[in-house]
Structure 1
Amino acid sequence: MTIDLSKIRAIDMHVHAEVSCHDPEDPVMGKFFDAASAYFKAPRERPKMPEIAQLYREQNIAFCLFTVDCESGLGAKRVSNYEIAEFASQNADICIPFASIDPRKGKLGAREARDLIENYGVQGFKFHHIMQDCDPADRVGYPIYEVIAEHRLPAIFHTGHSGMGTGMRGGGGVRLKWGQPMLVDDVAVDFPDMKIVLAHPSWPWVDESLSIALHKENVFIDLSGWSPKYFQPQIIQYANTQLKKKMLFGSDFPLIHPDKWIEAARTVGFKDEVMPGIMKDNAAKLLGLA
């Protein structure tokens, strides 16, 4: 079973699996979930994977599903990449499995990445260097990038402000500087065969993301994590012109509901002719589905 593009109306590039179907919620991550729910004014209860799939299937939206591995940076136990991959294989009509591996796991992380790609069908990766307390271009993570590039898969890099840690004492100990988009530019140069997705509008460094995506053939932008009604004008400007083939729909579910994002996107000035690309066609090409 594979995704039938004719039967879906969108591809959401940015959906979090924040709790396991088998294990209890990690108490360290629980504190970050408390703060993020308050910041986004979102429900505190985190949906499990079957609930996510049901919602997206009802909406006729395919989605990339991932956890965030920040075991070294925060000491928080991750949701298993293997659990996500196995779940996605059972819901392959709608769910695209991505994995997350803490960059500090280096060569051991690279072994896991290869196994997930070659034996479990993982189709991309997610990095959140703010939560992982690591410079995106730190060579410690390069063995993992090498595996991703070898298989020519996409990798999503969190950029900009982090809702995770906002309002916590000392920001939960996470450092916003690792979310500066320009730090990913070295990675884009060193790994031209890895498709890099800069996640979120990257505030307060919006123009850096636009510049990198304009300059680097292998760099894209997903528009998750913010309601479009809060987008800076230059995001709309470039989405309608030079970057119309590089902008990707993403919600950041469960913190932002895909329907809410889509509803807002209809009112902010995206041209009618660019919306099919943003909502589905650009992602389908990036993911090798079209």
Structure 2
Amino acid sequence: MKAIDAWAQPANGCLREKMPEVACLFEKSGSGHLLDQAMSPFETVAHMDEAGVEKLMLAAWCRPEGWVTSNDQIANYTRAYPDRFIGVATVDLSKPVAAVRELERAVLELGCKALRIVPWLWKLAPNHRLYYPLYVKCIELDIPFCTQVGHTGPLMPSETGRPVPYLDEVALDFPELRIVAGHIGHPWTDEMIGLAWKHDNVFIDTSAYLPRYYPAQLLQFLQSYGSQKVLFGSNFPQLSLSRCMKQVQELGLSPEVEAQFLYENARRIFKLP
């Protein structure tokens, strides 16, 4: 098995301080000890090797109060291990002109392969006007837009994660934009599956859920007409890479579906070498 993990972030030891909302999520997942633990690129690669994860898509984080992990910090990982880490940029959504410029810099100078914005951090659904210049720039740069759907594990309001109407409107306004919606969409999983079927460029990643707990309707979609629409994600370091990969094996997917889910879909959607 080889895998591209579509949703991860560095374990930098400052999550409890800079992202206090996620503390309860980590505790419930049995990974609370990682909130304060810094893991070097070398140590992260060792975890990947143990699990059988070939590439980790590491994302920067910015929130209204300031940067949690900068695009330049992500670039330190991708420069250290260019064959193992793939940078995913973010921006300060509250500064639209500077945000577009930062996205362009992150892609053209730092080599990032996507943009990710988590709506609950900003309390702004993805159809808000502040996102729209970024969607245009994503299309120009030929990169996907990654976002979160479903309820928030962190203790924040969940409304911004509803696939319908918010993400549906974005896909209608920007049919060329490749959208990767992370965290399955629970409890609106059926809505998210409907969007992925409806829109050619809308996809789902399974991050933040252990494979053992994937919803039945998502597994049915993955193993039938949605085999090219679903990507593996872990939300590392919230979930153990080894645990996720072991449980993927237990799903009993056909070799073709498993390869698409774990690797081929991400390679195609993010246009990786």
Normalising by the residue count of structure 1, what TM-score does the alignment of the two structures yield?
A: 0.86
Report whether the alignment pairs 1:14 with 2:3: no
Aligned twin of 1:48: 39
Question: Retained in 2: the 8 A contact 1:63–1:96?
Answer: yes
Say which SS state the counterpart of residue 65 (structure 1) adopts. strand
Within 1, Cα distance between the matches of 2:27 and 2:16? Answer: 18
**Cα drift, residue 285 of structure 1:** 1.1
Aligned twin of 1:178: 160
Normalising by the residue count of structure 2, what TM-score does the alignment of the two structures yield?
A: 0.91
Aligned twin of 1:243: 226
Aligned twin of 1:152: 142
Total equivalences in the alignment: 268
Structure 1 unaligned blocks of 5 or more: 1-7, 166-173
**Cα drift, residue 48 of structure 1:** 3.0
Give CA deviations for 1:119-146 in whole Å, capped at 9, x if unaligned: 1111111111012211111011211221
**Structure 1 residues 232-241 or 155-164, which shifts more?**
155-164
One-letter identity of the residue aligned with 2:45: A
Say which SS state the counterpart of residue 137 (structure 1) adopts. coil
One-letter identity of the residue aligned with 2:39: K
Within 1, Cα distance between the matches of 2:192 and 2:38? Answer: 31
Aligned twin of 1:34: 23
CA change 1:34–1:26 in 2 (3 A) is closer
CA change 1:146–1:48 in 2 (3 A) is farther
One-letter identity of the residue aligned with 2:47: L
**Cα drift, residue 103 of structure 1:** 2.5
**Structure 1 residues 42-51 or 193-202, which shifts more?**
42-51
Structure 2 unaligned blocks of 5 or more: none
1:281 to 238, 260, 264: 264
**Structure 1 residues 51-60 or 115-124, which shifts more?**
51-60
Report whether the alignment pairs 1:142 with 2:132: yes
Aligned twin of 2:245: 262
Q: Which runs of 4+ in 1 moved over 6 A?
A: none
CA change 1:241–1:89 in 2 (3 A) is same
Say which SS state the counterpart of residue 8 (structure 2) adopts. strand
One-letter identity of the residue aligned with 1:34: A
**Match runs of 1:30-109 below 5 Å:** 31-45=20-34, 46-50=37-41, 51-58=43-50, 59-70=52-63, 72=64, 75-109=65-99
Within 2, Cα distance between the matches of 1:265 and 1:136? Answer: 30
**Cα drift, residue 88 of structure 1:** 0.6
One-letter identity of the residue aligned with 2:8: V
Identity rate, percent: 26
CA change 1:121–1:177 in 2 (3 A) is same
One-letter identity of the residue aligned with 1:14: W
CA change 1:180–1:269 in 2 (3 A) is farther
Within 2, Cα distance between the matches of 1:60 and 1:261? Answer: 10
Question: Retained in 1: the 8 A contact 2:135–2:174?
Answer: yes
Give CA deviations for 1:178-213 in whole Å, capped at 9, x if unaligned: 011121111112222221001022110001110010
Question: Retained in 2: the 8 A contact 1:102–1:132?
Answer: no
CA change 1:222–1:211 in 2 (3 A) is same
CA root-mean-square deviation: 1.9
**Cα drift, residue 28 of structure 1:** 4.1
Give CA deviations for 1:247-270 in whole Å, capped at 9, x if unaligned: 111111101112211222223353
